């Protein structure tokens, strides 16, 4: 069975930093793209970023570019999202979604990030 597990969420003050991890099993992680998607409480989905299979190609949505970075360690089947200069609007459940460049079919259950103001 495929499993995708996010970790590292928590409460962080405005302007602070946090790093999320996404560990996958049951799929060929090194061949797949990793996306991060967030969802504020009671709100819709927002695509945040993606990285290609070897980590050489990353893209971010405008609102986080320059503050967030993402990379992966294929030997550990793990991807990371480093978030800096966090804002209240960054609060939400962060999903790791694994798949392809333009769609993703394996999602974790999410890691909750709360930015206190």
Residues in touch with other proteins (CB under 8 A): 35, 37, 44-47, 50, 59-62, 95, 97, 99, 102-105, 107-110
Specify the residue for token string 């962060």: 94
Residue nearer to other proteins on the CB measure, 9 or 16: 9
| Host H or E run for residue 48 | strand 45-51
Residue nearer to other proteins on the CB measure, 61 or 114: 61
**CA dihedral (23, 26, 30, 34) positive or negative:** negative
Residue nearer to other proteins on the CB measure, 7 or 59: 59
| Closest among 60, 58, 39, 56 to 48, alpha carbons compared | 60
CB of 62 to other proteins, least distance (A): 7
CB of 56 to other proteins, least distance (A): 16
| Host H or E run for residue 36 | strand 33-39
CB of 15 to other proteins, least distance (A): 25
CB of 35 to other proteins, least distance (A): 8
Residue nearer to other proteins on the CB measure, 24 or 37: 37
| Closest among 3, 33, 38 to 20, alpha carbons compared | 38
| Host H or E run for residue 96 | strand 92-99
């Amino acid at each position: 069975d495929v499993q995708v597990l996010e970790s590292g969420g928590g409460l962080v003050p405005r302007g602070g930093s946090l790093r999320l991890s996404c560990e996958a099993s049951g799929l060929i992680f090194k061949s797949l793209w990793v996306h991060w998607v967030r969802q504020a409480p009671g709100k819709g989905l927002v695509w945040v970023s993606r990285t290609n299979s070897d980590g050489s190609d990353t893209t971010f949505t405008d609102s986080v570019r320059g503050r967030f970075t993402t990379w992966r360690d294929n030997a550990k089947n793990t991807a990371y999202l480093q978030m800096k200069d966090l804002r209240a609007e960054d609060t939400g459940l962060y999903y790791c979604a694994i798949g392809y460049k333009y769609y993703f079919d394996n999602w974790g259950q999410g890691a909750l990030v709360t930015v206190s103001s």
